[in-house]
Chain A
Amino acid sequence: MPEWYSHPFFLLLPTAFFTLAIFSFLYKDNPMFKLAEHVFAGLSAGYYFGLIWQSVIRQQVWMPLTQDGQWSVLIPGVLGLLMFARFFPRIGWTTRLPLAFVIGSTAGIMFIQQLHGMVLPQVGRTLLPLDSLRNILIIVGVLTTLIYFYFSKPHTGTLGWIASVGIGFIMVAFGAHFGYTVMARVSLLIGRVQFLLVDWLGVAR
């Protein structure tokens, strides 16, 4: 390999090209942006196919079957193949079997997950003693926010006043989310500029 080719500028040239091609959309839609978009979609599909082939079909079906004699893997294997039966109208109905299994097992797991892992611990940690300003704020915030979402009675009088306190807490939450969202988006820009100036051009450290 020639020496100039191993320089980061040339090694990272394709990455830099596609970065700039994506940024060119800020000016307006153009063929370079379209090219980058299509290459990304194609690469992603190819990568994912290879990964699933190697990690799932080969490692979780073929290897246990041929090396360990685990015939039981044929059951999920066949169920997986039945997902493609919808392409053949005569046996299309068999697709319902794996779908029923997926929906049933997912519903069961999610029910337990939400109740045991989310609702109960979160409710448990909201039942706090009113012995500090922090605890009082948490309890007032939770109750007033919940009351804001109670729509069976008009929000007037005391209920309206409590709901408006809830709106205040919701607004604070929105503000925090907005601030963090700005930070996330800006981070992505910083990352790309760091790549262009530091990794590719080497004009900064």
Chain B
Amino acid sequence: MHGTAAMDVSGKSFWERLQSVDRRILYTLIFASVIIPILWPLHLPTPVTPESRAFFNAVDSLPSGSVVLFPFDFWPSTLPETEPMAVAGLRHCFRKNLRVVGLSNVGMGGPSIADRLLDSIGSEFHKTYGVDYVNLGYKANYSAVLLGMGSKIADIYPADHRGTRLDSIPLMRQVPNYDSVKFVLIVSDNAMTDYWVALVNARYGLPMVAGVTAIMAPKMLSYIQSHQLLGLLGGMKGAAEYEQLIDHSDKASRGMDAQSLIHFLIIAFIILGNFGFFMLRREQSQKGQN
């Protein structure tokens, strides 16, 4: 494989070619790594992390009938990561007979996604809109929303997402402000988690957990360490772990085979690329000595 013996027609050695693999080959391999396990599941294990277990335990320990604030703070573009978390979170809440107050600080799609998920998972558990759950919808200016709800929710949300006045909704008549809220379950793909932590947890002391996209997860771990968040779900893996914990496998669990396979592939290419780099350097230094 060394020297001229390993040269191809383009004059590149094997080690050089290893470092400049055509991106179309990578695309094809990645695409195959996604399609194959979706068509033929491999059932690879997904170990549960302590942060996900803490998330589950925090929700599971809430007394029946507690009011949970459920911000759907994510855009439609991150649905593969955030939707499974929201679905699993709602299933867990409704199974525990917790009452859910949904809202969204993301205007683009957030309130519609909240409506769809609350209705579909609510109907799974025969829950009634306005009694067991409600969707407050979207209001502009997150800081005014988060702080204002501490005084009076109806000042910020005179009506719910469907336009019904809050004083006509049985659940909201019992929830005038944060004093009646037991817990916050955030699902977010943006800095809203920081604002919930810094504005609501710090000022009102409301306990909270967060399900966030994988990109955000490393930063959020610092809130776990400071006990500002009680639990954390990181990306599709976090959602799959939560699905395991609530014993209801769904989209995230089904996507984890592909996730693991692609990670193997990327690791393999990183190792091969580095190996090629060092071998080429060795080859060049040997040539220099000769």
Which of B108, B158, B228 is in CB contact (< 8 Å) with A48?
Answer: B108
- Total A-B contacts with CB atoms under 8 angstroms apart: 142
Which of A47, A64, A122, A194 is in CB contact (< 8 Å) with B158?
Answer: A64
With a cutoff of 8 Å between Cβ atoms, the chain B residues found around residue A184 in the complex are: 78, 81, 213-215, 235
With a cutoff of 8 Å between Cβ atoms, the chain A residues found around residue B203 in the complex are: 116-117
Which of A44, A55, A187 is in CB contact (< 8 Å) with B255?
Answer: A187
Instruction: Look across to chain A and name the residue whose beta carbon is closest to the beta carbon of B234.
Output: A180
**In the complex, A142→B215 CA distance in Å?**
21
Inter-chain contact A121/B235, CB cutoff 8 Å: no
Interface residues on A, range: 35 or more
A184-199 CB contacts (< 8 Å) to partner B? 184, 186-194, 197-198
Within 8 Å of chain A (Cβ to Cβ): is B227? Answer: yes
Looking at A186, A189, A194, the one whose CB has the most chain B CB atoms below 10 A away is A186
Within 8 Å of chain B (Cβ to Cβ): is A133? Answer: no
Q: Which of A87-95, A106-114, A152-160 contacts B (4 or more CB under 8 A)?
A: A106-114
Which of A173, A192, A204 is in CB contact (< 8 Å) with B80?
Answer: A192
Inter-chain contact A117/B198, CB cutoff 8 Å: yes
**In the complex, A35→B215 CA distance in Å?**
29
Instruction: Look across to chain A and name the residue whose beta carbon is closest to the beta carbon of B252.
Output: A187
With a cutoff of 8 Å between Cβ atoms, the chain A residues found around residue B30 in the complex are: 186, 189
Which of A54, A125, A181 is in CB contact (< 8 Å) with B214?
Answer: A181
Per-position 1/0 for B102-124, Cβ under 8 A of A: 00000111010000000000000
**Least CB distance, A3 to chain B, in whole angstroms:** 23
Which of B27, B255, B266 is in CB contact (< 8 Å) with A194?
Answer: B255
Within 8 Å of chain A (Cβ to Cβ): is B171? Answer: no
**Least CB distance, A181 to chain B, in whole angstroms:** 5
Within 8 Å of chain B (Cβ to Cβ): is A51? Answer: yes
Per-position 1/0 for A44-62, Cβ under 8 A of B: 1001100110111001100
**In the complex, A17→B204 CA distance in Å?**
47
**Least CB distance, B248 to chain A, in whole angstroms:** 15
Q: How many residues of B contact A (CB 8 A)?
A: 57
Within 8 Å of chain A (Cβ to Cβ): is B163? Answer: yes
**In the complex, A197→B31 CA distance in Å?**
13
**In the complex, A109→B150 CA distance in Å?**
14
**In the complex, A116→B198 CA distance in Å?**
7
Inter-chain contact A187/B235, CB cutoff 8 Å: yes
Within 8 Å of chain A (Cβ to Cβ): is B268? Answer: no
Inter-chain contact A52/B227, CB cutoff 8 Å: no
Within 8 Å of chain B (Cβ to Cβ): is A100? Answer: no
Within 8 Å of chain A (Cβ to Cβ): is B139? Answer: yes
Which of A51, A109, A121, A205 is in CB contact (< 8 Å) with B202?
Answer: A121
**In the complex, A34→B66 CA distance in Å?**
48
Within 8 Å of chain B (Cβ to Cβ): is A75? Answer: no
**Least CB distance, B261 to chain A, in whole angstroms:** 10
Q: A122-B222, A184-B214, A189-B30 are in contact. Are A113 and B266 (CB under 8 A)?
A: no
Per-position 1/0 for B237-277, Cβ under 8 A of A: 10000000000000100110011001100100000000000
**Least CB distance, A88 to chain B, in whole angstroms:** 24
Inter-chain contact A194/B251, CB cutoff 8 Å: yes
Q: A176-B218, A193-B35 are in contact. Are A60 and B139 (CB under 8 A)?
A: yes
Give the top 7 A-B pairs by smallest Cβ distance, nearest first: A191-B80, A117-B198, A117-B202, A184-B214, A125-B226, A187-B236, A183-B214
10 new A-B contacts at CB < 8 Å, known A184-B215, A190-B255, A204-B38: A47-B109, A52-B140, A64-B158, A121-B226, A183-B263, A187-B80, A187-B236, A187-B255, A190-B80, A192-B80
